[in-house]
Chain A
Amino acid sequence: MSTLKVPISDSSFSAPAAPWGEHDHDSHGHVVQFYSEDRSLIQTLGNFIGTALESGDAAVVVATQSHRDALAEELKARGLNVANAMEAGRYVSLDAAETIAQIMVDGWPDEARFASHIGGVIAKVRVAAENARKSGATLMIEPRVVVFGEMVALLWAEGKHPSAIRLEQLWNDLAKTHSFSLRCAYPIGGFHLQEHSEPFLKICTEHSAVIPGESYTSLKSEAERLRNISQLQQKAQALEAEIAQRKEAQESLRQREIALRDAEQNAAMGKLAAVIAHEINNPLEVIANVFFLLRDHPSLDEHARGLARIAEEEISRVRHISNQTLAFYRESEKPISISLNNVLDGVLEIYARSLKSHGISVEKRYNGNREIFAYPVEIRQVFVNLIGNALQAMPDGGLLRVGIRDSSEVIQNSRRIGIRVNISDTGVGIPAKYRDKLFQPFVTTKAEKGTGLGLWVSRGIVQKLGGTIRFRSATIRSQIRTSFSVFFPTDEGSA
């Protein structure tokens, strides 16, 4: 087999053994060339096809009409009689788009059609070249077949990337049964997206050699090429950094948009909630007061008082659901400094009667007066929920511990300084089956008595302040202890 080394892009190019030329006339070579300018491609192609035809070999071109026209001009300029070569059948020029139409089935390159159509053309031009040699005075060595194809480039340009890669593979398959040297070419501008890098690499690996764009191949010395590679590496580095920055900026923008949308939605819901709350709570107060008076009213008999008590319990459910649901959306006001000690005392005061009637003793451990910036109603709601749950968990009495202390906690990989409030009880505990989903909405351990919203709402409030809420339920010395720990960060990173 001939191992001619032919300069590709410039006939005057004399660099020794230019790496992108050595596979050109390898009868099994499958070379891909990337180019920026059509003119550069045509020059290279003129060399590739021209040299073959000049040597009495065969050539097949499957290209766009404009490239075929430009190539014809180029070959003519080289002094080649293309018409003669065509007439002899050793040069065939096919339209790429028409050929694609012939080899595709349901939008996918068909192996059989490709092998039959392209394989047939290659076999034909080889026979023609052999015949020409027999009849002429050319050396009786077996003619080579060179092929230029850019169907793959058309498919790529249409966005049919998998089809382009598949077609490259079909060319490789065809090379197992036919001997030819193949050149493919793609405009490098078609690979401008980051998502192209993987298929680009795939295309390169389907070829036995890669010819980079002319900005590289036109360089004349090894030193220039090394400089060029270094420069490209620097550009790649800078682009990668810029892409990373841009992605970060896009993500940050996306997060801000989501936050803005949520805020707008919450503001709208907040206004609606305020109106609904006002309309529900005003009559609810009157009804609650009336039934409170009726349940022990001396003018009623025991049956009627019992009915009043039932009504009162039902009112309590309405109140609970209304508060839990509506409290989630609030009119936005600035958070203020509030004393956790006062909030907890206030909540314990609310529950004083129930705690006493259930035989629950309260142990308070406040480590000084601790304040946080928050919405008073929300913080109160959190502890109304937690202390209320503890109370309901101890129907037969027990011990409720309420503690406030300075603490710290690692939140999102950074250690935060803050205040921890612990609410623990010696009640019935939390069954294992609820532990993983305790903070999900509509999950309740209290059957029909609970809304399943309290802990979900509480966690939402605490998280909004950058804090955390956790629980532990364990049996210690045959006594079940359930403890909820709420951490509010107070350092600079605090929400």
Chain B
Amino acid sequence: MPSTKTATILCIDDEPTALSVRRLLLESAGYRVATAYSGEEGIRVFKSQPIDAVIMDYWLSGMDGIEAARELKRINPAIPIVVLSALTELPGESIGAADRWFLKGEDPAYLLNAISTLLESRA
């Protein structure tokens, strides 16, 4: 496992603007970032290169975020996954699929803090 600040984070979101800004945010914190615009693409990227953590949207077109998160966990049960949702509540069954979930629009510092903690705990 690389040091937490040189870790590679895979970001999956079907909103290009949100994805590009989130990439900038993570890069500003020192992470390397890989991106994907769908759950299917995210799984392909995940299989093709070393990924240390995943941040993904809950509501993706095509394969939804939870389905994709389950598949990623099936491939690597130890992979930390953070799900972002614009909804005020996630369905109960989605809770176990991710390690953390965040409401979109929360202070970005919380997300960075959570990623850092997840990576440290798995280091």
Contacts and interface: CB of A to CB of B under 8 A. Distances in A.
Interface in B24-64: 24-25, 28, 59
Contacts of A277: 86-88
B114 interface: yes
Contacts of A333: 89, 91-92
A336 B86 CA distance: 21
A373 to B, nearest CB: 10
A376 B95 contact: yes
B77 to A, nearest CB: 18
Contact of B18 (A282, A352, A353): A282
Interface in A336-381: 336, 338, 346, 349-350, 352-353, 375-377
Contacts of A349: 113-114, 117
Nearest to B15: A282
A266 to B, nearest CB: 13
B21 interface: yes
A327 B24 CA distance: 29
A322 interface: yes
A280 B106 CA distance: 12
A323 B103 contact: yes
A288 interface: yes
A376 B96 CA distance: 11
Contacts of B90: 376-377
B113 A353 contact: yes
A440 B113 CA distance: 33
B105 A281 contact: yes
Contacts of B3: none
Interface stretch (A138-146, A186-194, A289-297, A476-484): A289-297
Nearest to B108: A292
Interface string B70-87: 000000000000001011
Interface residues of A, number: 37
Contacts, number: 92
Interface string A273-284: 110011111101
Nearest to B118: A349
A286 to B, nearest CB: 5
B113 A293 contact: no
Nearest to A375: B89
A336 B92 contact: yes
Interface string A438-480: 0000000000000000000000000000000000000000000
Given A288-B107, A316-B107, A350-B113, A377 B18 contact: no
Contact of A280 (B59, B92, B105, B107): B105
Contacts of B21: 286, 289-290, 293
B105 A288 contact: yes
Nearest to A338: B95
A350 B113 CA distance: 7
A472 to B, nearest CB: 30
Contacts of B104: 281-282, 284-285
Nearest to A315: B105
A290 B28 CA distance: 11
A284 B107 CA distance: 10
A333 B95 CA distance: 12
A322 B105 CA distance: 10
A288 B95 contact: no
Contact of A284 (B22, B91, B105): B105
B113 A289 contact: no
Interface in B1-25: 15, 17-18, 21-22, 24-25
22 contacts: A273-B88, A278-B59, A281-B103, A282-B18, A285-B22, A285-B84, A286-B18, A288-B105, A288-B106, A288-B107, A288-B108, A290-B21, A292-B108, A292-B109, A293-B24, A316-B107, A319-B106, A333-B91, A333-B92, A350-B114, A353-B109, A353-B113
Given A277-B87, A282-B105, A330-B88, 20 more contacts: A277-B88, A278-B87, A282-B15, A285-B84, A285-B104, A286-B17, A289-B25, A289-B108, A290-B21, A293-B24, A319-B106, A330-B89, A331-B87, A333-B91, A334-B92, A335-B92, A349-B117, A352-B113, A375-B89, A377-B90
Interface of A: 273-274, 277-282, 284-286, 288-290, 292-293, 316, 319, 322-323, 326-327, 330-331, 333-336, 338, 346, 349-350, 352-353, 375-377
